[in-house]
């Protein structure tokens, strides 16, 4: 069993971690001690904790690296220090905001851009300054573990779906899998019932719609602003090889279309050695042929783990998600609706609704909690 595409958490994803804790699977997420970023010049940054107090705990690892020059390190320190006291203006991009804090362009390109692309599905020139500020504060400044990358050590069906179903069933919830809602039937400002694809009708006091905005429209509702969000692709490639370095875990490859490479072999107990490469904000490559995508993924894999150059590719699986997530730009905020709708008994959830987080599991969990609270309040 493989996931279509790698999912990771950060140590600062409190709601997502709380959710996994509640359903009993947080222990199956490996929070790593260090994050490795490899530049196009092959210089390496390994961000890791030290005995220094927060927010200085990551400083020794940044001082020690040759990934950034002395001037860049000073510029980064200046910008990070200024983050908490300087809020960005409205409609400001992450790049404009960081430039206003005297962060060198080269630091934005080599350090911030890999973060915006993988977390916001957007490059720094268009990414929301507000969201990037929140993320940088949470990752670098606010807690000791905020920067840690949480990598699931089993497929998401085992970490999320199965334990969540067990949790719900134990509490008397009925779940209907593979059951599509075809139509929402309204009368006045209320929902009367839902018609399922089977033709069956079900009704309830309240309804939480945790679907993408276009699904709302397919059910006969409006998109509540979601149609103004810009959705961007993610591409994932599994590379099955005859050998990979068992010590290689995962790395971010700055400047490559496939910006992250993960070793799936051990966690997933696979027969073949398997690396997984992920390309976010992948508009430029999503339409390319399987062969081209595999070549790009292999190029990133070789940079991430040089022994890959000598190993033989046995098989590759390509996964394209054309509308993977919305991109978190300065203008996306106004397009994200709250949980309450003009219909009195229907509530919205989903990563694209109005949470402070970009389209992530963290945002999805937060939106679910907020929607549940809105139902209770109503
Ligand atoms: C390739 C890829 C990689 C990602 N990587 C990460 C990552 O590393 N870390 C991270 O935090 N996030 C990542 N994300 C984002 C993360 O997957 C989402 O933020 C999260 O899944 C959103 O959850 P959700 O519940 O809002 O929506 P979804 O997970 O999209 O769930 C919506 C559900 O609604 C169902 N549905 C739709 N229409 C109907 C209907 N008519 N009737 C019944 N059901 C319906 C769908 O089948 C689906 O199950 C990634 C996303 C993609 C696509």
299-314 residue pLDDT tens: 999 999 999 999 999 9
pTM exceeds 0.85 = yes
pLDDT at 267 over 90: no
Number of domains in the chain: 3
The residue count of the chain comes to: 378
Task: For residues 249 and 261, give the distance between their C-alpha atoms in angstroms, rounded to a whole number.
Answer: 8
Co-location of 352 and 318 in the same domain: no
CATH of the domain at 270: 3.90.660.10
Residue nearest to atom 51 of ligand 1 (CA): 324
Helix (H, G, I), strand (E, B) or coil at 252: strand
Establish if 152 belongs to a structural domain: no
Kindly give the distance from the C-alpha atom of residue 87 to the centroid of ligand 1, in angstroms, as a whole number: 30
**Residue 280: which of 295, 264, 259, 250 has the closest Cα?**
259
Arithmetic mean of pLDDT over the chain: 96
CB-defined site of ligand 1, < 6 Å: 5, 7-8, 180-181, 210-212, 215, 219, 234, 236, 321, 324-325, 350-351, 359-364
Co-location of 222 and 258 in the same domain: no
Kindly give the distance from the C-alpha atom of residue 84 to the centroid of ligand 1, in angstroms, as a whole number: 31
Instruction: Note the pLDDT of residue 327.
Output: 94
Kindly give the distance from the C-alpha atom of residue 58 to the centroid of ligand 1, in angstroms, as a whole number: 32
Co-location of 85 and 134 in the same domain: yes
pLDDT in tens, 46-80: 999 999 999 999 999 999 999 999 999 999 999 99
Q: What are phi and psi of 253, to 5 degrees?
A: -110, 100
Task: For residues 301 and 239, give the distance between their C-alpha atoms in angstroms, rounded to a whole number.
Answer: 9
Co-location of 100 and 193 in the same domain: no
What domain range is 360 assigned to? 176-229+329-377
**Quick one: pLDDT band at residue 10, thresholds 50, 70, 90?**
very high
Using a pLDDT cut of 70, give the percent of the chain over it: 100
Helix then strand then coil, in percent of the chain rounded to 5, is 35, 25, 40
pLDDT at 85 over 90: yes
Using a pLDDT cut of 90, give the percent of the chain over it: 97
Strand partners, 251: 261
Ligand 1: atom nearest CA of 215 is 38
Angle between helices 162-170 and 14-23 (to 10 degrees): 60
Residue nearest to atom 14 of ligand 1 (CA): 360
Kindly give the distance from the C-alpha atom of residue 212 to the centroid of ligand 1, in angstroms, as a whole number: 8
Task: For residues 90 and 140, give the distance between their C-alpha atoms in angstroms, rounded to a whole number.
Answer: 23
Co-location of 261 and 291 in the same domain: yes
Residue nearest to atom 32 of ligand 1 (CA): 211
* Residues 6 or more apart in contact with residue 70 via CB below 8 angstroms: none
pLDDT at 245 over 90: yes
Cα-based angle 341, 345, 350 (whole degrees, multiple of 5): 55
Task: For residues 232 and 227, give the distance between their C-alpha atoms in angstroms, rounded to a whole number.
Answer: 13
Mean pLDDT, residues 249-258 taken together: 97
pLDDT in tens, 159-202: 999 999 999 999 999 999 999 999 999 999 999 999 999 999 99
Kindly give the distance from the C-alpha atom of residue 359 to the centroid of ligand 1, in angstroms, as a whole number: 9
**Quick one: pLDDT band at residue 1, thresholds 50, 70, 90?**
confident
CATH of the domain at 373: 3.50.50.60
């Amino acid at each position: 069993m493989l996931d279509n595409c790698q999912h990771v958490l950060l140590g600062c994803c409190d709601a997502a971690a709380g959710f996994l804790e509640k359903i009993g699977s947080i222990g199956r997420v490996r929070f790593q001690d260090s994050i490795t970023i490899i530049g196009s010049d092959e210089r390496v940054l390994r961000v890791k904790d030290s005995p220094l107090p927060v927010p200085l705990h990551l400083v020794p690892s940044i001082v020690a690296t040759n990934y950034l020059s002395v001037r860049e390190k000073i510029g980064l320190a200046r910008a990070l220090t200024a983050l908490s006291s300087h809020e960005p203006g409205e409609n400001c991009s992450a790049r404009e905001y960081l430039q206003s804090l005297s962060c060198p362009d080269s630091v934005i390109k080599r350090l911030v851009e890999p973060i915006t692309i993988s977390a916001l599905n957007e490059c720094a020139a268009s990414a929301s300054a507000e969201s990037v500020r929140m993320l940088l504060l949470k990752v670098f400044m606010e807690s000791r573990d905020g920067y840690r990358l949480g990598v699931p050590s089993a497929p998401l069906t085992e970490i999320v779906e199965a334990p969540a179903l067990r949790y719900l069933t134990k509490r008397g919830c009925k779940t209907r899998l593979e059951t599509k809602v075809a139509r929402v039937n309204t009368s006045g400002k209320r929902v009367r019932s839902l018609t399922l694809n089977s033709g069956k009708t079900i009704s309830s006091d309240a309804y939480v719609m945790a679907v993408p905005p276009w699904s709302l429209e397919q059910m006969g509702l409006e998109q509540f602003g979601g149609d103004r969000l810009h959705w961007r692709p993610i591409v994932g490639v599994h590379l099955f090889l005859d050998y990979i370095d068992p010590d290689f875990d995962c790395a971010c490859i700055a400047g490559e279309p496939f910006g992250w490479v993960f070793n799936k072999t051990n966690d997933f107990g696979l027969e073949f050695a398997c690396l997984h490469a992920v390309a976010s904000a992948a508009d430029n490559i999503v339409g390319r042929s399987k062969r081209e995508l595999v070549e790009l993924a292999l190029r990133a894999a070789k940079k991430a783990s040089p022994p890959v150059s000598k190993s033989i590719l046995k098989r590759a699986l390509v996964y394209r998600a054309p509308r993977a997530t919305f991109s978190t730009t300065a203008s996306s905020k106004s397009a994200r609706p709250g949980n309450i709708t003009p219909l009195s008994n229907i509530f919205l959830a989903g990563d694209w609704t109005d949470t402070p987080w970009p389209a992530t599991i963290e945002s999805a969990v937060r939106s679910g909690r907020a929607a549940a609270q809105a139902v209770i309040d109503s």
